[in-house]
Structures are given as structure tokens and as C-alpha cells.
Amino acid sequence: MRCARCGSRQIAIKRPRTDRILCKDCFCTEFEEDVHLGIVENHVFTPGDLVAVGVSGGKDSTVLLHVLHTLNARHQYGIQLHLLSADEGISGYRDNSLETVYANARTYELPLTVVAYKELFGWTMNEIHQAIGKKNNCTYCGVLRRKALDVGAQRINATKLAMGHNADDYAETVLMNVCRGDIGRMERCTDMTTGGPESGTVTRVKPLKYVYQKEVVMYAHFKKLLYFSTPCTYAEEAYRGYARTFLNRLHAVLPSAVADIIHAGERLQLADQIKREQPKQRKCQRCGYITSQALCQACALLEGLNTTRSTDVAAAPPAAVPEEVVRPPPPQTSETPDPQSPGDIESTPALRS
Ligand SMILES: [Zn+2]
Ligand SMILES: [Zn+2]
């Protein structure tokens, strides 16, 4: 067998979507060009953009950083990159993965900004874990990370916030929205670009939309990228885990399943009447973030936590805290146009390696 591009006998990978057999170098070139094509076709960047790259130290965001750095030089996007990382305050996990982020900032000679949950919200994930126990940690962490990265991107005056979601993440999100019947999120959950000034947030872009998880892993491996691969201490992600398992089994019998599901999501359009029935967007009473409820998800979760804390101060045992105080609010249909549910890949960089 020979590489379909250059004829080399040193074949390294069969690409999951196309079944093309390639050598290492040709695979890396095709991978980069696929990302480039997606960026161009979706008008992801404008010359002069200051792009905050959301980095966790995990492999998806590390690959994103490397590819954007490479493509910006090769195709002259005219963008500036700035690393942005959230410090959730998870001892033994985030402090270690942040080391990787610092190392990459030095390697690529790029500025790095770290935003800490403790500073922004008054809570670390360690403290939240203590307050709420084992369940829902990824929900809290995901909602707060989303907001932390938004705040961080605004602080550095970024015009775009780039995230490392890949094709598998998109397909999982489509499946999850279908299973939840979450119509409000269904229509836009396959967009490569979401948010923006009109919704009061920095525009989010996900340039790895068309590359598969397996390819991201192989690219990181072939390029010898430095990433952190220990699963998050608090990760459980039950719901996304089921979607992931299902998708993996489907992929075994139908290699195009991931691409097909994304394609189905892209084609989905809501009827005008259904659109009119969706909750109206407004601003969070507390922080001004876009939401369909009185409080945005982050403020609602923090309010529950702070109630727990004041209950603790009143010397009530933790078991006496009513469950509804610490339970996350029901999904807010149209608050987050992002395809990722809370607790997305950035929190669990190694779960699918
Ligand atoms: Zn080749
Ligand atoms: Zn809020």
C-alpha cells in the first residue's frame, strides 16, 4: 500500500471520513488544509483580528493553537494570537495542565492571559465540589468556563475567541440536542461562528469543526505537540459520555456517521412559528450577559452556591441544604448558542484519547 498523495510506502493513517491512506507528512498537510478550507469558507477571520485562543493544555486546544499559528504564517490571515486559559482551581489537575499552557506560550512566543474562577466568581472548583458533592461538577465548571473565557476575551479586547471543538464534538452535540428535544439550540449548534457583539459576547469560532477526534490525536502525535492528558479530577459527564459511546459504535459500522450527523444538523431549519415560540433573549439582571431567563446560567448557579455558603455560615450541616438550592437550573433553551453543552472538551482533554 502507498500514500494516496505522494506514493510513499511509509503509510501512517487511513482518514476516517474519506478512507484515504496517507503518509505522516501528507496527512498533516491535508489536516491543515482542511482546517484552512473551513476557515476560508466560513469567513472565520478578518485581517486585524485579535484572536484569543482558548487553551486548556489538552490536546484539542493545543492542536488548534499549533494549526492556527501555522496557517496564519502560511496563508497570511493577518491575525494576532493571544492564549487565554481558565484556572478553575482544581488542585492536581489544572495547576499541572497550566504548566503545559505556560510552556506552549513560551514555545510559540505568544502572550498568555489566565482568568481564575476564584477571582471572577469567588469560588474554585475545589470549593464547589466540596459544596455540591460528586454530581453536576461538569455542568458548573462548563457554565463558569464559558463565562470566564468570555470575560477574559473582553479584557484583552479580543475580536474572536477560538475554541478547539472538533467534528466528533459537534456530532455529539447534535445527538444530545435531539435526545433532549432542545429545539432552541438545534438550529445553530452546527455553526462554526457563534455569538458576537449583537449578543454582548466576543464572537466564538471553532476552526476544527471538520476534523475528526481521531485525526486530532494523530496530528498531535505526529507533530510531537506538548499537551496534558490526565482526565479532570471531577469529570463525570454522564450524558455526553453516552452520546460519545453511541457515536463510536455507529462510526464502527458507518465511517461517515460523524460528518453525516453534522450535515443533518446544518440542514435543519426551524419553522417560523416555532422560532416565534422560542423564549426571547434579554440581559441577565445581575451581569448583563445574554440569557432567556432573569439570571444567566452562571449567575443562577452562583446564587445557589452562595445560598449554600450562607447556610453553612449559619452552622447548618451540609446535608441539610435543600437539594434544589444546589441543583443547576433547567437548560435555558436559547441562552447559549454554542454547540457545546456545559462541561465540554476543554474540561476533559484526555477522555477520548
Ligand atoms: Zn504522502
Ligand atoms: Zn449573569
What would the pLDDT profile of 157-195 be if each residue is shown by its tens digit? 999 999 999 999 999 999 998 988 888 788 788 899 998
pLDDT at 337: 37
pLDDT at 237: 65
Alpha carbon distance 6, 211 (integer Å): 21
Q: What is the pLDDT of residues 51-93, one digit of tens each?
A: 999 999 899 999 999 999 999 999 999 999 999 999 988 887 7
Lowest mean pLDDT of 24-38, 183-197, 245-259, name the range: 183-197
Instruction: Tell me, in angstroms, the distance from the centre of ligand 2 to residue 181's CA.
Output: 25
Q: What is the pLDDT of residues 211-242, one digit of tens each?
A: 999 999 999 999 999 888 777 776 666 678 88
- Higher-pLDDT residue of 213 and 339 is 213
pTM for this entry:
0.84
Alpha carbon distance 308, 86 (integer Å): 24
Instruction: Tell me, in angstroms, the distance from the centre of ligand 2 to residue 300's CA.
Output: 7
**Burial grade of 149 (CB within 10 A; 0-12, 13-18, 19 or more):** buried
Among the bound ligands, the one closest to the CA of 291? 2
Domain boundaries, the chain: 32-345
Among the bound ligands, the one closest to the CA of 4? 1
Q: What is the pLDDT of residues 270-313, one digit of tens each?
A: 888 888 888 888 888 888 888 888 898 899 989 988 887 776 55
Instruction: Tell me, in angstroms, the distance from the centre of ligand 1 to residue 258's CA.
Output: 25
- Homologous superfamily (CATH) of 32-345 is HUPs (3.40.50.620)
Around ion ligand 2, residues with a beta carbon closer than 5 Å are 284, 286-287, 289, 296, 299
Can you say how many angstroms the Cα of residue 316 is from the centroid of all Cα atoms in its chain?
37
Question: Nine-digit cell at 239?
Answer: 450524558
Percent of all residues in the chain with a pLDDT value above 70, rounded to a whole number: 86
pLDDT at 159: 97
CA dist list (Å): 62 to 54, 197, 208, 249, 300:
9, 27, 12, 27, 32
pLDDT at 52: 98
The amino acid present at 261, given as its one-letter code, is I
Among the bound ligands, the one closest to the CA of 332? 2
Around ion ligand 1, residues with a beta carbon closer than 5 Å are 3, 5-6, 8, 23, 26
pLDDT band at 258 (very low <50, low <70, confident <90, very high): very high
pLDDT at 275: 81
Judge whether residue 152 has pLDDT over 90.
yes
